[in-house]
Amino acid sequence: MRYVGHGVLIAVALAIAVGGVVELLTGWIHPWERARVLRPVPHGVGQVLTGSGLCCFFGVGAFSPTGDALRVLLAVSAGLFVAGIVLVGVSRLPDR
């Protein structure tokens, strides 16, 4: 059952990343985010990084590496996630 839950969470994380790729390629933004997003490129990159960080984090949980690999993968996933969240936040700031 644990792997099913991790599989669902990884699928959600990949959907977030794919949404970011679609936004970068076509400029399309989800209807519930259109009013708040002022800069589509940082928003798309932020979604890709956030989805990648979550996918890495849930993959670590599913495969349970040991030792230094666990710390490195968790640090990488946290860095990707935080960078993505910062870019999504920056995309909503108005111009000067």
95 located within any domain:
no
pTM recorded for the entire structure: 0.89
Domain count, the chain: 1
Share of the chain above pLDDT 90, in %: 62
96 located within any domain:
no
Residue/partner pairs of 63-69 with CB below 8 Å, 24 or more apart: none
86 located within any domain:
yes
Residue span of the structural domain in which 32 resides: 2-90
Residue 16 near residue 47 (C-beta atoms within 8 A) = yes
Cα(70)–Cα(77) distance, rounded to whole angstroms? 11
Res. 3: pLDDT tops 90: no
